[in-house]
Amino acid sequence: MMNGLMRAHRRADCALVGAIAIVAVSGASAREFILYTDEQAARAALPISVAVTPSPIALARAEVAVQSECLAEVLYYEARGEGIEGQKAVAEVVLQRTRDSNYPSTVCGVVYDGARHDSHGCQFSFACDNTLRRPKDKWAWRQVLGLAEKIVNGTTRLSGETGRAIAYHNVDVTPAWADTMLKTVQIGNHVFYRRDPSAQARLMQIQADAGPSEEIQSQVQTASAVGDGA
């Protein structure tokens, strides 16, 4: 009798322990389910993509890199055989044009001024004649790119050797526009010019007296000859 009673108590104890275990497991599962559903809801509320705005410093660095490459293109194709002095002189023309209301206000704008697909209105001939498609000399390109970066970021300052020139041509040619401008200096194989206000005034007066002519108009459009410099 006593043995039967003890066995009954043991079975009751086991059942109680089992019930407690089931409740504990059920409670844990419920908590896990609640946490899981909460996490899913939080994830669903998140945006699919997040727009990251670059810092002003990063934007400034990117702009310097872009403008430096444009300047390097000019130095490479127009003056890579002219040495550092000749390259700086050409760079002066580009930067001087950015300050002139008749030209774009950025280096890249000046370099590719007039460039259009299948067009021949470029200020710099390499931008129109497929020269850019040709492989570059790696050493020469690294040299001019390094110089261009220093000029654009202000590390290397230009000394104004060209006398505020906004145009130049190779010594082997004499473009028509040269007669309408004031020669400032010759550096290497390039002759540099700035505007001659009196010459421009004379041409405008001639045009007013005689009426528009293709020849006069081409001279008034200063420094537009392709392949003769810029």
DSSP 230: -
Q: What is the pLDDT of residues 80-121, one digit of tens each?
A: 999 999 999 999 999 999 999 999 999 999 999 987 655 567
**pTM of this structure:** 0.67
DSSP strand E in the chain: where?
167-170, 181-187, 190-195
Q: What is the pLDDT of residues 19-49, one digit of tens each?
A: 444 444 445 455 554 555 556 666 666 666 6
Buried-state track 154-191, b at ≥16 Cβ within 10 A, e below 16: eeeeeeeebeebbbbbeeeeebebbebbeebeebbebb
pLDDT at 167 over 70: yes
Q: Which residue has the higher pLDDT, 18 or 163?
A: 163
Percent of the chain scored above 90 by pLDDT? 44
Q: What mean pLDDT comes out for the span 157-173? A: 94
Q: What is the pLDDT of residues 122-139, one digit of tens each?
A: 888 888 888 888 999 999
Place of tokens 């045009």: 207
